[in-house]
């Protein structure tokens, strides 16, 4: 059980909008530490998708957006495409446990 | 093009040792902190260790402290992970990952570039 809790799976039809939550606590997200998001396509290395809660690296489509509030963060994907089917991980820091990743969420495009 | 290329993985018996390497190219290697992150088969990501750009500061997850040693050779643009006293639970794909902005390792930072990973299997 990860300290940063993500839903194991989410799904959506092409064109729809989906959100993936990342729930932490007062010792990590709630303490003000940044949340980052990664996309891992099948059989490949993770790729940075969102950093510093809501910033997109160069080359990441603006269909991907991040937000943070209180002890939780969210990744939103709008205009869902088949190529978005992947595992998504959140990352933050915990004052007791060091660098943390969420357990991951598998996105299925129906 | 910024690239990281890991090597050195393989099959090792419990209690054995292995050294992983990560060759960097396309950026000024010594200007960035680096980390190792692992992923057990079918599981999520786990941060393992980090090192500052100069190599003078190192950091470890509790699960590997005292068994793993991170180091770097800036003249060779290469990051290393020496793994001793290996256990079955160390079986994973090991990725090297780059800090996006600093030679000092900031625990809150993301990892902006990842290698393709190298598989380590600990089994008798």
Asked if B42 is an interface residue toward chain A (Cβ–Cβ < 8 A), one would say no
pLDDT at position A17 is 97
Average pLDDT over residues B33-45: 97
Confidence of residue B76 (pLDDT cuts 50, 70, 90): very high
Asked if the model's pLDDT at residue B82 lies above 90, the reply is: yes
Asked if A99 is an interface residue toward chain B (Cβ–Cβ < 8 A), one would say yes
Half-sphere exposure of A90 (CA within 13 A, CB side): 36
DSSP H or E segment with residue A65: strand A64-69
What does A22-46 look like in DSSP terms, one character per residue? EE--TTTGGGT---EEEEE-TTS--
User: Are A4 and A29 spatial neighbours (Cβ–Cβ below 8 Å)?
Assistant: yes
The runs of H, that is alpha helices, within A7-106 are none
Asked if A100 is an interface residue toward chain B (Cβ–Cβ < 8 A), one would say yes
Confidence of residue B74 (pLDDT cuts 50, 70, 90): very high
Question: What share of chain B in percent tops pLDDT 70?
Answer: 100
Separation in Å, CA A65 to CA A17, A38, B58, B110:
11, 12, 33, 16
pLDDT in single tens digits along all 110 residues of chain A: 779 999 999 999 999 999 999 999 999 999 999 999 999 999 999 999 999 999 999 999 999 999 999 999 999 999 999 999 999 999 999 988 789 999 999 999 99
Asked if B44 is an interface residue toward chain A (Cβ–Cβ < 8 A), one would say yes
Q: What is the pLDDT of residues B84-116, one digit of tens each?
A: 999 999 999 999 999 998 888 888 999 999 999
Cβ under 8 Å to B: A residues 18-37:
33-34, 36
User: Are B68 and B49 spatial neighbours (Cβ–Cβ below 8 Å)?
Assistant: yes
Kindly determine whether residue B112 and residue A33, on different chains, have CB atoms separated by under 8 Å.
Answer: no
């Amino acid at each position: 059980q990860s300290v940063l809790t993500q839903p194991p799976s989410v799904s959506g039809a092409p064109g729809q909008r989906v959100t993936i939550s990342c729930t932490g606590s007062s010792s990590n997200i709630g303490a003000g530490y940044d949340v980052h998001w990664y996309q891992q396509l099948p059989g490949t290395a993770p790729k940075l998708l969102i950093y510093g809660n809501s910033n997109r690296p160069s080359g990441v489509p603006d269909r991907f957006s991040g937000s943070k509030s209180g002890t939780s963060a969210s990744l939103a994907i709008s205009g869902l495409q088949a190529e978005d089917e992947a595992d998504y991980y959140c990352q933050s820091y915990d004052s007791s446990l060091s660098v943390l990743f969420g357990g991951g969420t598998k996105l299925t495009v129906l | 093009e910024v690239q990281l290329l890991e090597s050195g993985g393989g099959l090792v018996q419990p209690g054995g040792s292995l050294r992983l390497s990560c060759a960097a190219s396309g950026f000024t290697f010594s200007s960035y902190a680096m980390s190792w992150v692992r992923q057990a088969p079918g599981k999520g990501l786990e941060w393992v260790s980090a090192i500052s750009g100069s190599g003078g500061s190192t950091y470890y997850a509790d699960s590997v402290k005292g068994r793993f040693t991170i180091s770097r050779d800036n003249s060779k643009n290469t990051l290393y992970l020496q793994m001793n006293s290996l256990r079955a639970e160390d079986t994973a794909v090991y990725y090297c990952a780059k800090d996006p902005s600093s030679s000092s390792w900031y625990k809150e930072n993301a990892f902006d570039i990842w290698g393709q990973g190298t598989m380590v299997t600990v089994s008798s």
